[in-house]
Structure 1
Amino acid sequence: MRVALLAESFLPHMNGVTGSVLHVLRHLERQGHQTLVIAPKAGEVTADLHGARTALLRSVPLPSYPQVRVVFARVARLATLLRAFDADVLHLASPFVLGWQGVVVADALCIPSVAVYQTDVIAYAQKYGIPQASAFAASHTARLHRRATLTLAPSTSAIQQLEGLGVDRLRRWGRGVDAERFRPERRSEHWRGRVAAGGETIVGYVGRLAPEKQVEDLIALRDLPGVRLVIVGDGPSRSALERALPGAVFTGHLSGTELAETLASFDVFVHPGESETFGQTIQEALASGVPVVATGRGGPVDLVRSSVDGWLYRPGDVADLRARVSDLVGDPSKRRAFSAAARASVKDRTWEALGDQLVGHYEEARMLRPIDDAMLARSVTRPAAPSIAEAGPAPRWKRFVALGDSLTEGLSDSSRMPAGEYRGWADRLAQLLAHGNGGSSPFRYANLAIRSKRIHHLLTEQLPAALQMRPDLVSVFMGANDLVGRGADPRALARELEVGVRSLRDAGCDVLLVTPFLPRRRAAVLFARTFAEFNSELRRVAADTGARLLDLEAHPEIGHIDMWGADRVHLRSRGHRFLAYRAAEALGVPHAEALADLDATLHIDDDEAAGPGWLREHAVPWVWRRLHGRTAGDGRSAKHADYVLIERPGSTRSVPAPS
């Protein structure tokens, strides 16, 4: 693969963005990929770039922060560079100014772009007291990341922030840590003796000295008895901090082994910044076996396990910061216990593992790019970011009816079922809804889905039957069989389905509308445009009718081969479980994600993925039926044509429909 990395900052200025780029270059070289770095030119680069070509562009420094360089590159210049390199994917490292030009060029050249969100520019603008710039930063960030093929965010808080801006196609991608460089054995008693000659407990900070890092909050620690405060780093706030903290040791910028030795020699690491999207120095402190006290906001929340390997204090509460540091300073045994837990917490966060994940994200972006191009050509909308909050809490539904085809019937979900019987995502969802109902009232469930059915069957057969049952919730998941037919008109089909959704809404039913999806296989590309156009229309239908939407294009995991059964066209048990819990989230079922994680650990799929007998057992019978005008659903009745009563997990009992 040929990967072009476009970075807003680069060597010789070392920061989190530059460090991540260097780790990525090292991993890509080891995997045999070719790389090109496009970045600001700010001085001589002598570091090992791991075989990467470079195109360093003329840049200007920010007046208030000369270490930060800004490139105003012409789109034509970037296009020339990317064409000459013949890039397969464009990696945008913390994109903003140069990154915007990058996504524009990527669209023009139809190159997939992967934007890595690393810098909270919005918070930085607020810290620098420029409210009008903050509003611009928010709108620009949203526009840029919505345009990228894929966005990688390092933490839960960063994902939530981007979701709030309407950014879609979000994936979690953290940061690796060099656990060989940063380790407890680097602790130096000689260094400690020089810095704290009186045997003081060393409390240290490592990072940029700038307003957005909130290092001034460490003033709350300056008079702690028996404490020596050490500040590692440089930046525009250094002079003011030296005046405010006259008793602290300021080392300036450190790197390499010198930084690792200093960090391991701390007794407590403090991190006060509230606008961190991740917190790489926190990981390095943990790897060094140093307990961490950090603010309970942003990236640190995912890294520090409060009361296990450190403390998270209330954001902005410097008294709480002081109390948490005092707790560790005064308890050496607790520091030792936290230290052991800190080191253990990073053992699986290697750059090699993160690099492999990144290459997987590149591959996903390459798969998505042709779909995006088809959408752009037809003015089709991309899926919105999945948001649990939008769905709101689940009402106390009492009667749920599922409409659809073989996927809703549950084909290939044979987990813990008698031979010839299937569960399916709708059955699983009914159990979750009954559980969420708290058992305060009976929960009734019917499943009118039949394999091979199409939208006109839903309208003429399933819908009338459902309306007679007076449900308060109906799931509508239909269209795949229509879309793979010859000459399918996705917009016309969506309008047909809209008629059914409106009928249900007019009858007072809540509706869960589910978008059809494809497996991640080469043959699926033949139908990708048709499905994308149909799903774009379903988003409009949901918005116009007030239906709740489960937009599975926003959950690309559903297309992974491990989700699909032996026949290659139906979900296996794992896929049905995934779909059920995503539906539960869309309906506002409490703790659906946590329940999904628990369920996954308790189940081992006993069904098999596609094997060598696929052609004989599945493909040939399907072709024979098509040639003879038959379907697998001929002569079949609905799975649960009347309500069944769900009394407890795994238990159902037939009951008559309400009169």
Structure 2
Amino acid sequence: MRVLVATDAWHPQVNGVVRTLAMMAEAARPLGVDVGFLTPQSFRTVALPSYPDLRLAMPSPATIARLIGEARPDSIHIATEGPIGLLTRRYCRKRGLPFTTSFHTRFPEYISARLPIPESWIWAALRWFHGASQAVMAATPALASELRVRGFRNVVLWPRGVDTNQFYPRAIDLGLPRPVFLSVGRVAVEKNLEAFLGLDLPGTKLIVGDGPARAGLARKYPRAVFLGARQGEELAEAYAGADVFVFPSRTDTFGLVLLEALASGLPVAAFPVTGPRDVIGSAPVGSLNEDLQVACLAALTISPRACREFAAGHSWEASARAFIENIANARSLDPKGEPVQFAVKAPRLIG
């Protein structure tokens, strides 16, 4: 089976959406599924407002149609709600083709943090975008339930995974005063990093990542260490050399970095919100508290071995199998009929 994924987020961007799509595609190949991508690399791009290092594709309907025709996919999945996603949706609707979508980003909260646009308007636009999808894939049960409450139909689960061969505990000396409290991700206002950087903690606060807020935060918090973006082995070593992973975001839908940290033996400190609450659940691998300082200090007492063992149960193969089954279920539906209300439960793994 050939699946074409349309996405506005792609390399050289470094974020959870790109990593999820790339790792899923790699894991799907041995399962007999060829996942191809329709990405900004095929189009002229412009800098995204307030994110100058992110490029927004400027596709045309004719080019989208040509590229999809050349790919000859058996199924189409739309991963993002940007220009590529919109025109791919338009292509499918005009031809009566079924497609699936996934919900990765809480745009209502992100956009409202920058612009005076009511969140209700943005949620309405997202309901319209995903309304024609045969299956809307969400990373966690809590997010799936929230989407249904907000009026989204056909919500199914697509869990995430982690590469435990890349991220694992080891003795790494970062040359910083310990304990090292690490946060990894995009350095932007919606990540709520000031909730972490303003804490009175022993040792070192370490930020790995880049983004539009980095320069201002580095000036405001000169005692924190900003390493910039890291990938591959450099990123894995940053995890392994830390003591606690701090996740101050209140809006992330999942936070792939949580699994990477746990696989590296790092306990998690976070607010008790969707995302960290869904990933950790009742497992003794993190501390969730509305007082983030209390959470950080409590996390120091958690067993790194327990974190590693927890992460070992989340593989990219299982994630790919869930994605494939969601696609297969959607293909069995009549695209001209009313979308079917899927149950909010984990897909049965095929194979």
TM-score category of the 2 structures, normalised to the smaller one: over 0.9
What secondary structure, in the 3-state scheme, does the structure 2 residue paired with 1:99 have?
helix
1:562-612 deviations in Å (ceiling 9; x for gaps): xxxxxxxxxxxxxxxxxxxxxxxxxxxxxxxxxxxxxxxxxxxxxxxxxxx
1:113 is displaced (CA, Å) by: 1.3
Give the match for residue 491 of structure 1.
Answer: none
What is the CA distance between 1:13 and its match in structure 2? Answer: 1.7
Q: Quickly say closer, same or farther: Cα 1:75–1:274, change in 2 above 3 A.
A: same
- Aligned counterpart, 1:293: 269
Indicate the residue corresponding to 1:372 in structure 2: 335
The CA deviation at 1:279 is 0.8
Alpha-carbon offset, residue 29 of structure 1:
2.9
Q: Quote how far apart the aligned CAs of 1:306 are.
A: 5.6
Q: 1:305 to 1:31 in 2, by over 3 A?
A: closer
Shift of 1:70: 2.0
Answering whether residue 172 of structure 2 is matched by residue 188 of structure 1, we say yes
Structure 1 CA distance for aligned equivalents of residues 295 and 217 of structure 2:
22
- CA deviations on 1:229-256 (whole Å, 9 max, x unpaired) are 1111110010111122111111100010
Q: Tell me the C-alpha RMSD between the 2 structures.
A: 2.1
Q: What residue is the counterpart of 2:315 in the other structure?
A: 350
Query: Is 2:296 aligned against 1:321?
Result: no
Shift of 1:109: 2.9
What displacement does 1:210 show?
A: 0.3
Report if the CA contact (8 A) 2:270-2:287 is conserved. Answer: yes
Quick one: distance in 2 between partners of 1:254 and 1:324?
Answer: 26
Name the SS for the 2:73 alignment partner.
Answer: coil
* TM-score (norm: length of structure 2): 0.92
State the distance in 2 between where 1:178 and 1:81 align. Answer: 31
Whichever residue aligns with residue 340 of structure 1, its letter is R
CA distance in 1, matches of 2:36, 2:293: 46
The 8 Å contact of residues 213 and 272 in structure 1, kept in 2 or not, is answered as yes
Match of 2:87? 101
Gaps of 5+ in 2: none
Distance apart, 1:305 and its partner CA: 4.0
Q: Report the equivalent of 1:512.
A: none
- 1:10-50 deviation digits (Å, cap 9, x = unpaired): 11122111111211221233334334311113xxxxxxxxx
Contact preservation (8 Å) 2:269, 2:299: no
Instruction: Output the CA distance in 1 between the equivalents of 2:289 and 2:344.
Output: 36
Distance 1:36 1:92 in 2: 12
Partner of 1:160: 145
SS where residue 335 of structure 2 aligns? helix
State the alpha-carbon separation in 1 of the partners of residues 38 and 49 from structure 2: 23
Determine if contact 1:93/1:116 at 8 Å carries over to the other structure.
yes
- CA spacing shift, 1:2–1:166, aligned 2, 3 Å: same
Distance 2:324 2:222 in 1: 47
- Number of equivalenced pairs: 347
Match in the other structure for 1:280: 256
Query: CA deviation digits over 1:155-179, x for unaligned, max 9?
Result: 2332133213311110111211001
For the 8 Å contact 2:287–2:299, the answer to whether it is kept is no
Q: Which amino acid aligns with 1:220?
A: G
Q: Which residue of 1 aligns with 2:325?
A: 360
Q: CA offsets per residue over residues 425-446 of structure 1, 9 Å max, x none?
A: xxxxxxxxxxxxxxxxxxxxxx
Residues 179 and 287 of structure 1 are in contact (CA less than 8 Å); yes or no, is this contact kept in structure 2?
yes
**Quick one: distance in 2 between partners of 1:269 and 1:367?**
42
For 2:169 and 2:26, how far apart are their aligned partners in 1? Answer: 25
In 1: Cα distance, 2:344 partner to 2:203 partner = 51
- The corresponding residue for 2:189 is 211
Cα separation, partners in 2 of 1:61 and 1:133, compared to 1, 3 Å: farther
Q: Distance in 2 between matches of 1:152 and 1:286?
A: 24
3-state SS in 2 of match to 1:298: coil
Answering whether residue 35 of structure 2 is matched by residue 64 of structure 1, we say no
Code of the residue aligned with 1:58 in structure 2: it is R
Instruction: Find the aligned partners of 1:555 and 1:278 in 2 and give their Cα distance.
Output: 20
Equivalent residues of 2:154, 2:339 under 8 A apart: no
- Listed as ranges, the gaps of 5+ residues in structure 1 are 42-55, 315-319, 376-380, 384-552, 561-659
**Is the 2:144–2:344 contact (alpha carbons within 8 Å) kept by the matching residues of 1?**
no
Aligned equivalents of 2:146, 2:283: Cα separation in 1: 26
Which residue number corresponds to residue 520 of structure 1? none
Q: Which residue of 2 aligns with 1:609?
A: none
Q: Separation in 1 of the partners of 2:2 and 2:84?
A: 20
Could you tell which deviates more after superposition, 204-213 or 4-13?
4-13
Partners of 1:131 and 1:201 in 2: CA distance:
40
Matched, 1:227 2:203: yes
CA shift for structure 1 position 81: 1.8
Q: Counterparts in 2 of 1:103-252, with a 5 A limit? A: 103-128=89-114, 130-132=115-117, 134-185=119-170, 187-189=171-173, 191=174, 194-196=175-177, 200-221=178-199, 223-224=200-201, 226-252=202-228
**1:30: which partner in 2?**
30
Alpha-carbon contact 2:98-2:335 (below 8 Å) kept: no
Contact 1:94 1:117 in 2 (8 A): yes
SS of 1:182 mapped into structure 2: coil
SS at match of 1:171: strand
3-state DSSP class of the match of 1:152? Answer: strand
Looking at structure 1, the residues matched to 36 and 164 of structure 2 have their Cα atoms a distance apart, in angstroms, of: 27
Cα distance between partner residues in 1 of 2:82 and 2:281: 32
Q: Deviations over 1:357-382 (max 9, x none)?
A: 111111111111xx231x2xxxxx44
**Shift, 1:103, TM fit:** 1.6
Alpha-carbon contact 2:96-2:335 (below 8 Å) kept: no
The share of aligned pairs that are identical, in percent, is 29
**What per-residue deviation string (whole Å, max 9, x for no partner) do you get for residues 40-78 of structure 1?**
13xxxxxxxxxxxxxx22221113102332224233321
SS at the partner of 1:270?
strand
> Secondary structure of 1:184's partner?
coil
Question: TM-score, structure 1 length as denominator?
Answer: 0.50
Question: 1:215 Cα shift?
Answer: 0.4
Q: Give the Cα separation in 2 of the matches to 1:144 and 1:275.
A: 20
Please give the alpha-carbon distance, in whole angstroms, between the structure 1 residues aligned to 2:259 and 2:19: 14
Matched residues in 2 for 1:148 and 1:297: separation? 27
Distance change >3 Å, CA 325–CA 253, structure 1 → 2: same
Question: Which structure has more helix as a fraction of its residues?
Answer: 1
Deviation at 1:133, TM superposition (A): 6.0
Q: Tell me, in whole angstroms, the C-alpha distance in 1 between the residues paired with 2:206 and 2:292.
A: 16
